[in-house]
Each structure stands twice: as C-alpha cells, then as structure tokens.
Structure 1
Amino acid sequence: MPDTANRTQFILLRGGPRHLERLHPHLGDDPERIAVRHLNGYEHYEATGEYACAGDQELPIFGWIYQTKIAE
C-alpha cells in the first residue's frame, strides 16, 4: 500500500478571493475540507464531489464556504 501521508496532490479552488491561486497544492490524504492561509485569516473550502481536467490529471474541485480571521 503506498504511503499517501507525504504525497503532494493538487486541487482546484472555486470561489473565495479573486487573487487567490486556483490551483492549490495539498499534502496528505483526500480531505473533505481544507483551510488555506490568506492574508490575516483562512479561507475554508469543501470538496464538491466534482472533478476538472488539468493537463493529464483529473483534479478534485473544492468550493469556498467561509472565511475566518486569526485572533490577535
């Protein structure tokens, strides 16, 4: 069985801030939700169950659900 804990895969982000990179690296297993550090907070995304072609790969699409700020 391959070790996926240290394998980088790419996901596509849909929604959220316009200037955030849409192709996002993710390290580890296939999550249901991710948090992307952005400015002074986090942008939260959830797996949509959809996939999109990027080159020769099908990448999972994660849709934006909410934003949180880092407490000072």
Structure 2
Amino acid sequence: MRVRLEGGPNGFPDDFRARLVNSLEPKIKVQYGCGYEHFERTDESRTAVDGDVVIYRWTAQTRIAE
C-alpha cells in the first residue's frame, strides 16, 4: 500500500514522504535527525499516476532518549 506523509518540520525531505507499507496502521513513526516525526492516518486518499495514495498527517515530534 502506498502512503504519503504530509506536514512536519521545515526541511523534512520529500523522499521521506512517499512510502510503501505492508498495512495501514493508524500511526507511522519516522526517524529524522535527532528524533522521530509522528504521523496519523486520515480518511483522505489521492489518485496518483500509479494508483491511490493514503494520506497521513504530521502530529508531533519526539526526541531520541540518550
């Protein structure tokens, strides 16, 4: 399944935003910099050239504990 991550901090790379996942979990956590970016699934989807894409929106950022 293809998903698209939207929102997040400035500089969050576009190549991190398009993802392939095995299942549509309610949340996705992506390691970025010194922490994690958290995204939650929405009811939105978009039609792309190679199929539908489910949209996840950014909700929070957490730091990696040292």
TM-score normalised by structure 2 residue count: 0.82
Tell me what 1:6 maps to.
none
Unpaired runs of at least 5, structure 2: none
After superposition, give the CA deviation of every residue in 1:17-63 in whole Å (9 maximum; x if it has no partner).
Answer: 2432221233x211010101101110000001100122131110000
Q: Structure 2: how far apart are the matches of 1:17 and 1:57?
A: 27
1:67 alignment partner, one of 57, 61, 66: 61
Distance 1:50 1:71 in 2: 33
Which fold has the larger relative contact order, with Cα–Cα distance below 8 Å and residues 6 or more apart in sequence? 2
Q: What percent identity do the matched residue pairs reach?
A: 37
Between structure 1 and structure 2, the one with the greater Rg is 1
Q: 1:51 aligns with which of 31, 40, 45?
A: 45
Aligned-residue CA RMSD (Å): 1.3
Query: How many aligned residue pairs are there?
Result: 63
Higher helix share: 2
- Gaps of at least 5 residues in structure 1 are 1-8
